[in-house]
Structure 1
Amino acid sequence: MAILTDEINLLVTLNAGYLAPLKVMLYSVHANNPGERVHLWLLHASLTPAEVAAVAQLTASFGWQFSDEPVDADFTAGVPLIKRYPKEMYFRLLSGEILPHEVKRVIYLDPDLLVINPLRPLWELDLAGHMLAAAAHRGVTKLVDSVNQLRLGTTTSYFNSGVLVIDLDQARAKIRLSDITDAIETHESDLILPDQDILNFLYGTDILEIPEEIWNYDTRKYLIYQTRNLTQHDIHWVMANTVILHYCGTPKPWDASSDGKFTGLFLNYQQQLQRLLASLEPVVE
């Protein structure tokens, strides 16, 4: 198989709580993007050297490039944080300031998802001048958009922040930590999902919408997708056409209480990952 030469930059930001599902997600990327050159950028504020080394070992087994980008505590010292939400959630928006300037574009992926088809079409997406690309999670109607427009005073769709294409040069010019700080302080009582709300409130007009059924499929909403598309999007369509399955909400597929339509698929990738990890040398503490 020919090796594709345009390296895909993947961005992840997390704390240790999501390290295990992150590895499953990365394995799914590797399994379904054979021949791709991938560079994983890991942004974090609290992972231990051993935890970072485990991710580095996994990506090395894939033949990927890996960059560990620890974020100094002073960088977000002035950001007011919402209880229950880690500061790492803001790193995706601030990645232009954190990553080297030679990195021009990244695909940001949440750790609680699977990539089941090739990512290259998303990597090569024409942003048409926009700073970001994202999907909006709607129900059968656009009621969710309307509610969030009223809540946040916005006019655009309400975009999910779990999958983003980011033009980093534009982000460096437009995204300011002070703007994020001001927005949190001003609207803290109105924020439900802080990073996502801030994304929409500050930058919604600079986001290119991409189809959620392809790029950010909410695994809770299988029947809704079928209803909205006159039953055309059955499980066969999903497996052939959807690229990213997003396990939004709870329970997560790695939880014992999870028994959804897509739980088994996640568990299968988890099993495959465990077999791979068993074949690798233990990471030295």
Structure 2
Amino acid sequence: MLFSITENYTKQLRTTLFSIRANNPQDAFDVYLILDGHLSKQVNGLSDFCRSLNMKLHLIQIPEKLFAKAPKTKRYPKTIYYRLIAQNFLPDSLDRILYLDCDLICLNPFGAFYHLDFENKLYAAASHFENIKISSTFNKIRLGNYDSDNYFNSGVLLMNLKMLRQKININDIYAYIEKNSLQLLLPDQDVLNALYGNQIKSVADTYYNYDTRYFSAYKLLNDGLTDLDWIMKHTVFLHFCGPYKPWNKSYNRKFAALYKHYEWVANRDSLDKNETDQGLKPSVDKKQPL
């Protein structure tokens, strides 16, 4: 698995990793983490956390000069672009890897998805606009890629590393960003779709990249089939897209309690310590029966 984060996203990464282990208990996992700049003690602590989950952590640092001129905001830091060139920094022995954003949780096993046939495509990903043709047409015009059938979300991205090493040229990415920087609304995702959208194998978002914002729309489009019971049984990755995130205290939207459960269990050791250090955690009389 591949992740790319800034240092203030380690808690979210722990939550995602814990949900993956909880729902894939028998699988072996190597976690490749791309970082920008210097490693901190907080990030180094992830190695122990991964070990506790029987996962092996590999840290990869990207030269700071890469994507220095690409559009960036607080919400979209430079690290979002790293998935586009990760194949150049991963071991040659890997022929595929699954990139995941850290604003999602795993609900079910994903071995079948990981081992799917790429059918000579560079990636496998889901579109959140497959049934909304107006949005798809708008993005085709905006990005100038008329050969692509969909606009794909880059938060769950199965990467065909062998082909990517052969066909992706970082200079093409730089050139597109420089020419179109003012038109990039979702920077890395726009670049991915503009340059490689017609080389992405489409998978079902209800299974592999469920956008939590569209619960009612999904039910409507699927004749009520994709209710909460269906999601818990079938959906693999539940993705909290958009600016409102479930780790914020004010978040009270659909699936908030589910995310906060995984967050608490994944991080409770460190949270307990922080509360104790701040004198916030109430004392418990261990002799008193529960």
Alignment-mate amino acid for residue 81 of structure 1: A
- 1:278–1:89 CA distance, 2 compared to 1 (3 A): closer
Q: Residue 116 of structure 1: CA displacement?
A: 0.7
Q: Which of 169, 172, 185 lines up with 2:162 in the alignment?
A: 169
Q: Residue 17 of structure 1: CA displacement?
A: 2.8
1:1-285, aligned counterparts within 5 Å?
10-46=1-37, 48-74=39-65, 76=66, 79-84=68-73, 85-138=76-129, 141-155=132-146, 156=148, 157-275=150-268, 277=270
In 1, are the aligned partners of 2:10 and 2:43 still within 8 Å (CA)? no
- Counterpart-to-counterpart distance in 2, 1:188 and 1:259: 34
Q: TM-score, normalised by structure 2?
A: 0.89
- Counterpart-to-counterpart distance in 1, 2:70 and 2:12: 24
Q: Residue 187 of structure 1: CA displacement?
A: 0.7
Q: Structure 2: which 5+ residue stretches go unaligned?
A: 274-290
Deviations 1:206-252 (A, max 9, x none): 10000000000000100000011111111100110000000001210
In 2, are the aligned partners of 1:79 and 1:181 still within 8 Å (CA)? no
- Counterpart-to-counterpart distance in 2, 1:24 and 1:13: 15
Deviations 1:256-283 (A, max 9, x none): 2211111110000011113355799xxx
Which residue number in structure 1 is paired with residue 282 of structure 2?
A: none
Equivalences, count = 269
- Counterpart-to-counterpart distance in 2, 1:139 and 1:127: 19
Q: Residue 150 of structure 1: CA displacement?
A: 1.4
Deviations 1:126-176 (A, max 9, x none): 111111001001275322211101111223200000000001111111112
- 1:117–1:204 CA distance, 2 compared to 1 (3 A): same
| Secondary structure of 2:162's aligned partner | helix
Q: TM-score, normalised by structure 1?
A: 0.90
In 1, are the aligned partners of 2:24 and 2:109 still within 8 Å (CA)? yes
CA RMSD of the aligned region, Å? 1.7
| Secondary structure of 2:45's aligned partner | helix
In 2, are the aligned partners of 1:52 and 1:68 still within 8 Å (CA)? no
- Counterpart-to-counterpart distance in 2, 1:262 and 1:146: 30
Percent of aligned pairs sharing the same letter: 34
- 1:23–1:160 CA distance, 2 compared to 1 (3 A): same
In 2, are the aligned partners of 1:134 and 1:163 still within 8 Å (CA)? yes
In 2, are the aligned partners of 1:107 and 1:123 still within 8 Å (CA)? yes
